[in-house]
Structure 1
Amino acid sequence: MLCHLPYAEVPISSAEDFSRSYEITIGMAERGNAETNVRVFACVGPYPVLLLGLVERYGLPRAVEIMKAGMEGAQRLVREGKAVAIGEIGRPHFPVPPEIWDASNEIMRYGMELAKEASCPVVLHTESCDPAVMLDLASHADRAGISRDKVVKHYSPPLVLNEENHGLFPSVLASRTSVREALSKGDRFVLETDFLDEPARPGAVMNINTVPKRTKALIASGELTEERAFRIHKDNPERIYGIRIE
């Protein structure tokens, strides 16, 4: 899954800017599919932290309008079959003033509403997560009318039990400790690396090949069966994103 992030070469000030930015991510996915034997799926949406810069330049009401327009552009790409999810959307991962927090939640819910219309999931970028945060996010999903299992919590701790994730789908960072804890609770999760492909931070957050390497090692050690690996890496993504993994 290739998730969209902002690009320095495309400053965002309008819906058109979002579209130009998204096309870079879509182009990367298309190139990956054309030039490698890896199947790449794209996820696009207005990155939550962009709201802060837009507020500084245009004020809060206009900034919210621009972010919502970015959501609409993302939905359009999903409907065109170029992307399979809206994300990363959500709210800043650091403390912000109450008015920014409230606006971020409003924008996030709008994205959830659009995802429901397009029959696709959302991928959420938020503050550090615990069961209370999961419950709060689930309440926003309910208000938006999107099924909780169509809400993927990016960079999630191993909150695999229903009483921990409240029906949201955790995408767990593939550290050894987190994977082992997740497996001890079940297999209703997916794994991620949060790989950034940033030259200044090579291999951050985790290297792109971590998930297959970790999976193979766990199978070899007997800690993970092939059946469970297929559920985590094939069945779960297919169910969440409505895709087919061969």
Structure 2
Amino acid sequence: MSEDVPILDDHLHLDPVNGRGAAAAEEFAAAGGTHLLVLNKPSWSLVDEEAVGTPEGFRETFELTCEVTDEAARKLPGDAWPVLGVHPGLISRLVEDGHSPTEARDIMQRGLDIAAEFVADGPAIALKSGRPHYEVDDAVWEASNEVMRHAFELAGETGCAVQLHTEGGDDFTEVAEWAEDAGLTRERVVKHYSGGPVDGPIPSVISNKDAVEDAAAGDEPFMMETDFLDDPDRPGAVLGPKTVPRRVNWLLEAGYEDAVYTAHVETPARVYGIETN
């Protein structure tokens, strides 16, 4: 593999409370990785239970993520940036705790407001939002969509991208249209955990061989990710930190040099305004 090829993992978690934290970035770098986008874990993974869903809990979650991202950046030949937001699964926890879907929506939108402060003032470069990837009732689904649309509005105001955690599938044209209605171009909407090309947003492709080859064989922009969870109970979940560098090497050996450049240089610049080269 060429030493000149930057390697970005577009969606990875580092848990400074329960997991390996920045040490996982060392493993990524040792395998050839250069740049990371670090997503905050759900607040219930990082803060005391009573703080989950509170402004203080959101802020502590984001501060912890920014701190571990800064520590990770010092272990890389390139850089690392935080992506902050509210996990869509929080709505179910809030409803189970007695909140109405509307109340849960409002709590999550306030959390996104706080995340947007970290984007506007630095150091975060994008927001995280979405909707449940599991079955919910109509009221929760509608409230979740309203949370996501609020993220688009905030991103349009701050000029940043949004990473989406959603159900599976490959047609998110309507979601991209919602973003455009909120003043956010669809090329700044990223579908996390994509299984290949998608309609509407930019896919962040989970880096198993079939998915990345499917994306690399096409002509559309994409990025690559592991969704590494940094969970001590599941040390390799979803994929380990070495995976994206290994898949890049595999793609280069298979002749996909242009696709690698697209995924690790052109698309990150287009979506986030970051330089990896």
Question: CA 1:96–1:217 in structure 2 vs 1: closer, same or farther (change >3 Å)?
Answer: same
Matched, 1:179 2:217: no
| Aligned-residue offset at 1:165 | 1.2
| Aligned-residue offset at 1:59 | 2.5
Matched, 1:150 2:188: yes
Question: CA 1:231–1:130 in structure 2 vs 1: closer, same or farther (change >3 Å)?
Answer: closer
Aligned length: 236
Matched, 1:34 2:67: no
Matched, 1:95 2:139: no
Partner of 1:84: 125
Moved over 6 A (4+): none
Mapping for residues 1-246 of structure 1, pairs under 5 Å: 1-7=37-43, 8-10=45-47, 11=49, 12-57=52-97, 58-87=99-128, 89-131=129-171, 134-159=172-197, 164-166=198-200, 168-222=201-255, 224-225=256-257, 227-246=258-277
| C-alpha contact 2:53 2:108 (8 A) present in aligned 1 | no
- 1:70-90: CA deviations, max 9, x gaps? 010110000111100001x11
TM-score scaled by length of structure 1: 0.90
Q: Secondary structure at the match of 2:124?
A: coil
| Aligned-residue offset at 1:36 | 4.0
Distance 1:35 1:208 in 2: 13
| Aligned-residue offset at 1:35 | 4.1
Q: Secondary structure at the match of 1:42?
A: strand
Q: Secondary structure at the match of 1:41?
A: strand
Q: Secondary structure at the match of 1:200?
A: coil
**Range moving further from structure 2, 236-245 or 115-124:** 236-245
Q: Gaps (5+ residues) in structure 2?
A: 1-36
- 1:153-180: CA deviations, max 9, x gaps? 0001211xxxx413x1011111111111
Distance 1:188 1:36 in 2: 25
Question: CA 1:9–1:154 in structure 2 vs 1: closer, same or farther (change >3 Å)?
Answer: closer
Q: Secondary structure at the match of 2:244?
A: helix
Query: RMSD of the alignment, in Å?
Result: 1.5
| Aligned-residue offset at 1:140 | 2.1
| Aligned-residue offset at 1:205 | 1.0
Q: Secondary structure at the match of 2:266?
A: helix
**Range moving further from structure 2, 211-220 or 148-157:** 211-220
Distance 1:22 1:221 in 2: 39
Distance 1:4 1:45 in 2: 7
Give % identity.
Answer: 36
Distance 2:168 2:254 in 1: 31
TM-score scaled by length of structure 2: 0.81
| C-alpha contact 2:187 2:270 (8 A) present in aligned 1 | no
| C-alpha contact 1:91 1:101 (8 A) present in aligned 2 | yes
Q: Gaps (5+ residues) in structure 1?
A: none
Question: CA 1:180–1:34 in structure 2 vs 1: closer, same or farther (change >3 Å)?
Answer: closer
Give the structure with the larger helix fraction.
1
Q: Secondary structure at the match of 2:80?
A: coil
- 1:57-107: CA deviations, max 9, x gaps? 3333322221111010110000111100001x1101100010000000001
What amino acid is the match of 2:184? I
What amino acid is the match of 2:173? L
